[in-house]
Amino acid sequence: MGALLISGTGGADAADPGPGLVAGANGGSQSNRCDTSSAIGPVTVAASPTEISNETDCVNYAESGVAEQKNRCRTHSVIGPITIALAPGSEVDNRTNCVNISKSGHVRKQTNDCDSTSVVGPITIGPGEVKNGANCVNVASSEPENGKQKKSADGAKSGKSGSQGGRQ
């Protein structure tokens, strides 16, 4: 089975055990802007079972206090992906993943803006499985001083599709 991976990634890591956010402390900011895009495609013609992933991953991780964590991630194409003559057992994944994690819980704001879209398509001809989805996750410990957590996800849907997200 062949595999094709097209991806963009971004990551910010704050593991310094510095002071948590207390009154008057500024804390830092973690931000990712990740794009995986194409004008036409990816175009796939697969005569045998294959796996294709078109994916964007953005992750912010903080051990100690951080003022803000935010992601803006896009997996998109103007035309496509176009998949023709997939063999049974083939899988095509178009996915955007945004994750913010604050281990200490001392975070004022966590936001995700994730999209997996195409203007025309995906166009699929064949028995394979095509999945489009955007996944957004904000995680902070249960500290009472946590601020806002906001998620938005918008996934273009075709075949078996999924989209997760919402206000928290």
Can you give the pLDDT at residue 154?
A: 55
Q: How far apart are CA 65 and CA 146, in angstroms?
A: 10
The pTM for the full model equals 0.65
The pLDDT value given to residue 8: 57
Q: b or e along 49-74 (b: 16 or more beta carbons within 10 Å of the residue's beta carbon)?
A: ebbbbbbbbbbbbbebbbbbbbbbbb
The pLDDT value given to residue 60: 93
More confident residue, 141 or 70: 70
Residues 127-154: tens digit of each pLDDT: 778 888 888 899 988 655 555 666 666 5
